[in-house]
């Protein structure tokens, strides 16, 4: 509907401008004088020749009356041609005045075609200028509408898709039914929700797998230990060299089986290290957009950001901020204070909630895998957010600091500078 209104408005303005140009082009700027009025003016001057001081112009024409010596006997208004030369240059009409069959003077009838030309030219210019200004206003308004209804929502969808592709399924898509992508935002968020459910189911399956691996490891290690112990006793008691070698071989294989089972158990805990991090130089002002994307509940104000080049993986840095804000939402539920400043030639992004923080003992272990603070209560979580964020920051040559601030838990992501070898 808005697109149709925009096009109709431009069409109407174009037609108005075209009509103004057609009217201007169709005007006859060099039209002949009205013969009846000219004769009437000449007759009235001839009648009043001997008393021109009482002569009155009874026509709509402007004229000047000269005697044979060129002296002005009458003028209908100022600034008219007062000599034959001026009249010729101005293309005025020049006629003789006859009194008693003698030429006693001349009448110069003003040619107003130039005045008409200026009037119509000025009118056409004003109409075209007004139409152009209105067109500019309509185009500017439509651009603002497109930026609000199409461009910005598209960028939000793009950023949301990048976060989904990066595995971040916790941040919902902010829905806005007042733009062209309203239905898509709802569909995208439904997709995110379903993917999150599938990821949880997968996580539960992985946990069950780890429990099964741990149980099997224990169950396998017990008989292997028994076999190894019996073999050690047999090797110590036998006098047969061949049997002793067999027992020693059994002991070695038991140790080998024990090592393989241990590796199988620990490998399940190393899956997080498969996440790739590819940092590169980027402008620090992009951090503002990452913070706004992470703060989807709008509980903080993005501060001024020092201009510099940083060394980071944009997607992973977004995940770091997402994890920090998600933890604050879940465990504190308060407003959030955000500060960005330079710290020893590095850029520090400090995020602090008002939830009171955690104990000093928990601060020492909160970044470890599967560790959560005592304030978790019944809040769902796996204890991996800060562990993953710390891993990402270290891979980007940065650092993640967790401490108690003045009001609550304070997490600071320290990002390295770019534009140099690291």
Of 168, 167, 179, 146, whose CA–CA distance to 293 is shortest?
A: 168
3-state DSSP call for residue 103? strand
175: its two tokens: 């829905």
285 Cβ contact list (under 8 Å, min separation 6): 305, 307
- Phi and psi at 124, nearest 5°, equal -65, -40
φ, ψ dihedrals at 369, nearest 5° = -65, 135
pLDDT at 375: 67
The pLDDT value recorded for residue 306 is: 94
**Residue-level pLDDT at 310:** 95
Q: How far is CA 113 from CA 39, 59, 90, 110, in A?
A: 20, 18, 10, 9
Per-residue pLDDT of the chain (422 residues), as tens digits, is 456 676 677 677 777 767 766 765 655 544 556 788 888 888 988 888 888 888 888 888 889 999 988 898 998 888 888 888 888 888 888 899 888 888 989 998 888 777 777 777 787 778 778 877 887 777 777 778 777 777 776 676 676 667 767 666 666 666 666 555 566 666 667 777 777 788 778 777 776 676 666 556 655 765 777 788 788 888 888 888 888 888 888 887 887 687 667 656 555 555 545 567 899 999 999 999 999 888 878 899 999 999 999 999 998 899 899 889 988 888 888 999 999 999 988 999 999 999 888 888 888 888 887 777 776 666 666 667 788 889 899 999 999 999 999 989 999 999 999 876 54
- Distance, in Å, from the CA atom of 356 to the CA atom of 383, rounded to the nearest integer, reads 19
User: CA–CA distance from 154 to each of 118, 185, 265, 306, 384 (Å)?
Assistant: 51, 10, 45, 27, 31
320-324-327 Cα angle (round to 5): 135
In terms of Cα–Cα distance, which of 369, 277, 367 is closest to 316? Answer: 277
Residue whose tokens read 């308004």: 141
């Amino acid at each position: 509907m808005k697109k149709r209104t925009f096009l109709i408005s431009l069409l109407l303005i174009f037609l108005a401008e075209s009509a103004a140009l057609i009217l201007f082009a169709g005007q006859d700027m060099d039209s002949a004088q009205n013969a009846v009025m000219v004769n009437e003016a000449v007759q009235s001057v001839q009648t009043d020749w001997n008393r021109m001081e009482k002569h009155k112009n009874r026509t709509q024409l402007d004229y000047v009356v000269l005697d044979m010596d060129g002296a002005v006997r009458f003028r209908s208004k100022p600034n008219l041609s007062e000599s034959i030369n001026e009249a010729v240059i101005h293309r005025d009409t020049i006629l003789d005045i006859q009194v008693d069959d003698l030429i006693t003077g001349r009448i110069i009838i003003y040619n107003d075609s130039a005045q008409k030309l200026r009037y119509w030219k000025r009118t056409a210019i004003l109409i075209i200028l007004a139409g152009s200004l209105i067109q500019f206003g309509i185009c500017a308004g439509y651009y603002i509408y497109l930026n609000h209804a199409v461009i910005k929502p598209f960028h939000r969808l793009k950023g949301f898709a990048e976060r989904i592709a990066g595995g971040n399924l916790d941040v919902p898509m902010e829905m806005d039914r007042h733009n062209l992508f309203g239905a898509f935002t709802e569909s995208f968020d439904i997709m995110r929700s379903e993917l999150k459910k599938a990821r949880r189911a997968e996580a539960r399956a992985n946990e069950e797998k780890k429990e099964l691996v741990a149980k099997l490891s224990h169950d396998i290690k017990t008989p292997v230990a028994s076999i190894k112990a019996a073999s050690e006793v047999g090797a110590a008691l036998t006098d047969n060299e061949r049997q002793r070698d067999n027992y020693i071989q059994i002991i070695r294989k038991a140790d080998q089986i024990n090592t393989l089972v241990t590796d199988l158990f620990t490998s399940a805990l190393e899956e997080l290290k498969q996440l790739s991090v590819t940092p590169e130089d980027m402008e620090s002002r992009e951090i503002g957009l990452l913070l706004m994307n992470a703060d989807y509940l709008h509980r903080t104000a993005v501060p001024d950001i020092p201009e510099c080049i940083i060394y980071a993986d944009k997607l992973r840095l977004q995940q770091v901020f997402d994890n920090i804000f998600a933890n604050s939402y879940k465990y504190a539920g308060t407003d959030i204070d955000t500060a960005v400043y330079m710290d020893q030639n590095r850029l520090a992004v400090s995020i602090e909630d008002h939830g009171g923080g955690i104990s000093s003992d928990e601060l020492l272990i909160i970044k470890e895998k599967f560790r959560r603070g005592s304030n978790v209560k019944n809040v769902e979580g796996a204890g991996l957010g800060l562990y993953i964020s710390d891993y990402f920051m270290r891979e980007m040559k940065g650092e993640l600091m967790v401490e108690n601030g003045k009001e609550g838990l304070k997490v600071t992501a320290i990002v390295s500078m770019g534009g140099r070898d690291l």
